[in-house]
Amino acid sequence: MNEIPTLESLKEQNTDTQFPIFNALQSKEHEQVVICSDPETGLRAIIAIHDTTLGPALGGTRMWNYNSEQEALIDVLRLSRGMTYKAAISGLNLGGGKAVIIGDPHKDKSEALFRAFGRFVDGLGGRYITAEDVGMEEKNMEWIYSETRFVTGIPKSLGGSGDPSPVTAFGVYMGVKACAKKAYGTDSLEGKRIALQGAGHVASYFAKHAAKEGAKLFISDIYEEKAIKLAKEVGAEVVSADAIYGLDVDIFTPCALGGIINDDTMGEFKCDIIAGGANNILDVEDRHGKMLVDKGIIYAPDYVINAGGLINVAGELEGYNEKRCHEKAAQIYDTILGILDYAAEHEIPTYRASNILAEERIKSVGKIHKIYSSRGHFTGRFGEMYMRDRG
């Protein structure tokens, strides 16, 4: 899964410079991008649908104060493509999509804004199903649900699964243990020194799992008060946002935003394993994935290890069962081990191994879909409709 290029780089690479956005979509095989604008509510959003071979595109909506339209577009293209691979490697019958809302999640939220966004999602007729992501809360998803049924992660009181972060964190925890098994011969985290970047929902639940097993945690967050609060809960040490990269630890667990493994940070890492819940943590996948191999660091592909959230909200499509979703998230342990073994056997980086395995599933199922059949259907809350015509 290669990186999404910037619009400037696309202009340099293509003779057809009049259509940089279409070039961006076609270079990574995106199917559709929808620009959503509602001046009355202040809504500025982008929905990206990458691939619907396996099923409707499911992926969360992120609210972030992007510096430019281009920054938001590049982010949503990267994230939506990652969702395709995440669903495929996790064995889900779903495609990949993502949405971003441009705005400050601490200042710009309103019921009207999210209901307006819900109308745009509804207009896609089920090609895209949204869910909760960075900057979003259950209440926001409830407002979106007021305008469309194509939303997951709604409150349990409304028949949904609620906050997906506990299952995401559980999957990250199982993935970290799988990496420890590969690195140390045992998956126990007792006594392991873990640098945890971020103190949000996923990081908090992960910290509790790891601390309970006896890990020694070092926590940082751009909002220091959040790091201090979490550290008190789990008996961890707080470090500055800049210092987290260079700590002498066993495991580095990024659970904040992406792009943090880059040319500036690469030389600082002093760990055996990098495995965490953040998306797109390799700034340039090919370059920095190979550099981790050269440094002897085991890397758990981010879209694999953090798939618990997708597994959880996908459970709503068939009628939500919390126990079943946790059991499926626990399988991330075996998936990560399988990827690590495949990478070692073929002498390739782990990010490439996971991409190959995901692409193989998409290709094989895509061949089956050439065979005509009557329309399938989801059960549960989505039982009255089907998202895609398989014919």
Q: Which two tokens stand for residue 204?
A: 């908090």
- C-alpha span between 53 and 390 (Å, rounded): 9
Please state, in angstroms and as integers, the Cα–Cα distance from residue 363 to each residue in 16, 53, 87, 261, 368, following that order: 29, 9, 13, 30, 9
| Count of Cβ atoms closer than 10 Å to residue 167 Cβ | 27
Contact between 192 and 213 under an 8 Å Cβ cutoff? The reply is no
d(CA 307, CA 320): 17
- Return the residue matching tokens 């070092």: 218
Coil, helix or strand at residue 318: helix
Active-site residue flag, 98: yes
Beta strands in 65-110 (DSSP E): 95-102
Give residue for tokens 């490697």: 89
DSSP state of 4: P
Q: What is the DSSP string of 107-133?
A: TS--HHHHHHHHHHHHHTTTSEEB-B-
Q: Are 33 and 46 in contact (CB under 8 A)?
A: yes
Which token pair is 381?
A: 């809350």
CA 268 to chain centre: 25
Bridge partners (DSSP) of residue 132 are 61
Instruction: Look at residue 63 and give its three-state secondary structure.
Output: strand
For the chain, strand residue ranges (E) read: 32-38, 43-51, 57-58, 61-64, 95-102, 128-129, 193-197, 216-220, 237-238, 251-254, 273-274, 298-299
For 190, counting Cβ atoms within 10 Å of its Cβ (0-12 exposed, 13-18 middle, 19+ buried), the class is exposed
Judged by DSSP in three states, 248 sits in: strand
Other beta carbons less than 10 A from residue 327's beta carbon = 11
Determine which one of 28, 86, 98, 109 is catalytic: 98
Active site residues: 98
